Amino acid sequence: MLPDHLPDHSVGVVTSQTVTIEQPLKLACGVVLPTHELVYETYGELNGERNNAVLICHALSGDHHAAGYYETEDRPGWWDHYIGPGKPIDTNHFFVVCLNNIGSCFGSTGPMSINAETGEPWGASFPSLRARDWVESQKLLMEYLSIECWAAVIGGSLGGMQAMRWSLEHPNKLLNAVVIASSMKLTAQNIAFNEIARRAIKSDPDFCNGSYLQEQKAPLRGLALARMIGHVTYLSDELMGQKFGRELRIGDLVDRNADPVEFQVESYLNYQGDKFSDSFDANSYILITKMLDYFDLSREYDNDPVAAFKQARCNFLVMSFSSDWRFAPQRSREITDALLAAGKSVSYVEIESDKGHDAFLLPNDRYEQALKNYLARVAQQLTGDAR
């Protein structure tokens, strides 16, 4: 239930909205979605000049609920620490938009949706996606909201990939791109982890070749295992050592008749896996991890990132975290170097943190201050433009 007293600087109680985009969306794979639904939330108010809108792009398992509280829940949105009045993404100045992207499983058109041509859920037959498809869908929502240009497009991980793709696909539609803990393409190791996770899902007998909804089943064990694999890679070795070490939760190493030994870290991962499998869709997980694998910012530019970024016109803030080995600081420095070589305005900040890849979602004073300072300057520029 909703807390008795909402925290200071909260956007408060929020509600999601659903829109049917009537304009056809041609995907990169060639399939055309005649219409599609998007679920989204907004925080703050759009100003008279309609120039203070900020787009928040979620990562693999994210959704539209980035900030505030629902009436029936006591848990805030996934980026609540960073969105709200007086926070880095300050709703006193910005109109913040966050949507659940197509292919996901929180209300927007995806594998769980009904395919109008068959009358059955799309399931594994949902067309493959690219990051550019998410950007094009976001642009259609932008037009629906009568927004001409984003003050900033902001995202971490896969969200940062979307921000970079925005800068290339629609360079006149954003003033700033904030790219956090991201990369211009996945490393072979990242692709390998994603494939292991997908194989875990597909090996579940209840996967039914992706038609589990029609069979009234769910590959919960496979999806839980996939999440456990992913979750380990999102944390740093240092953090896991601090949180769990080799502490036992139950069991006895001497008495054979006692409960089997279970380490604290095992219990934690089992809990995370089970919780995730209860809320996410397996086909969506497969679809979006494949989208991550396919992402390559400079593929269409002869694999020259400098040539790719020459298309951009916005300013950039690139941020990384010292202990993030899934999207290491080196990847962010590569983005920054390519932007500098392309003659673009870019600021780069590397944050000291022991939280691994998940650090971009968690409180951190230096991270918070760096993001706040950058966006405060954006807000000041908008005020100057309005005059």
What pTM was estimated for this model as a whole? 0.94
pLDDT tens-digit readout, 211-252: 999 999 999 999 999 999 999 999 888 877 787 766 666 554
Phi then psi dihedrals of residue 60, to 5 deg: -50, -60
| Residue in this structure with the two tokens 């002869």, named with its chain if needed | 302
Which range, of 95-99, 112-116, 209-213, 236-240, averages the lowest pLDDT? 236-240
Question: What's the pLDDT score for residue 253?
Answer: 44
Residues ≥6 apart with Cβ < 8 Å to 26:
32, 136
Q: What is the mean pLDDT of residues 77-95?
A: 98
167 DSSP 8-state letter: H
Q: Cα–Cα distance between 190 and 199 in angstroms, integer?
A: 14
Question: Whats the size of the chain, residue-wise?
Answer: 387
Identify whether the C-beta of residue 21 lies closer than 8 Å to the C-beta of residue 38. yes
The CA-atom distances, in angstroms, between 364 and each of 65, 102, 266 are 21, 31, 27
The CA-atom distances, in angstroms, between 72 and each of 113, 132, 352 are 25, 35, 36
Q: Which amino acid is at 278?
A: D
Q: Which of 104, 113, 157, 167 is catalytic?
A: 157
Phi then psi dihedrals of residue 236, to 5 deg: -90, 155
pLDDT tens-digit readout, 33-45: 999 999 999 999 9
User: Is 157 tagged catalytic?
Assistant: yes
User: Is 357 tagged catalytic?
Assistant: yes
CA-CA-CA-CA torsion sign (29, 31, 33, 37): negative
Phi then psi dihedrals of residue 49, to 5 deg: -80, -10
Identify whether the C-beta of residue 128 lies closer than 8 Å to the C-beta of residue 29. yes
Q: Where are the beta strands (DSSP E) in the chain?
A: 17-21, 25-26, 32-33, 36-43, 53-57, 83-84, 89-90, 95-100, 114-115, 120-121, 152-156, 176-180, 248-250, 262-263, 315-321, 346-351
Identify whether the C-beta of residue 311 lies closer than 8 Å to the C-beta of residue 349. no
Q: Which of 58, 284, 357, 358 is catalytic?
A: 357
The CA-atom distances, in angstroms, between 313 and each of 110, 152, 216 are 32, 12, 49
Query: Which domains does the chain carry?
Result: 17-185+297-386 (3.40.50.1820), 193-288 (1.10.1740.110)
Q: Which amino acid is at 210?
A: G
Query: How confident is the prediction for the chain on average, in pLDDT?
Result: 93
pLDDT tens-digit readout, 283-321: 999 999 999 999 999 999 999 999 999 999 999 999 999
Q: Which of 324, 332, 353, 358 is catalytic?
A: 324
Q: Which amino acid is at 124?
A: A
Categorize the per-residue pLDDT at 387 as very low, low, confident or very high, splitting at 50, 70 and 90.
very low
What percent of the chain stands above pLDDT 70?
A: 94
Burial class for 172, CB neighbours closer than 10 Å (0-12, 13-18, 19+): exposed
Identify whether the C-beta of residue 58 lies closer than 8 Å to the C-beta of residue 155. yes
Residue 386 above 90 pLDDT?
A: no
User: Is 64 tagged catalytic?
Assistant: no
Q: Cα–Cα distance between 211 and 207 in angstroms, integer?
A: 7
244 DSSP 8-state letter: T
Distance of alpha carbon 216 from the chain centroid: 29
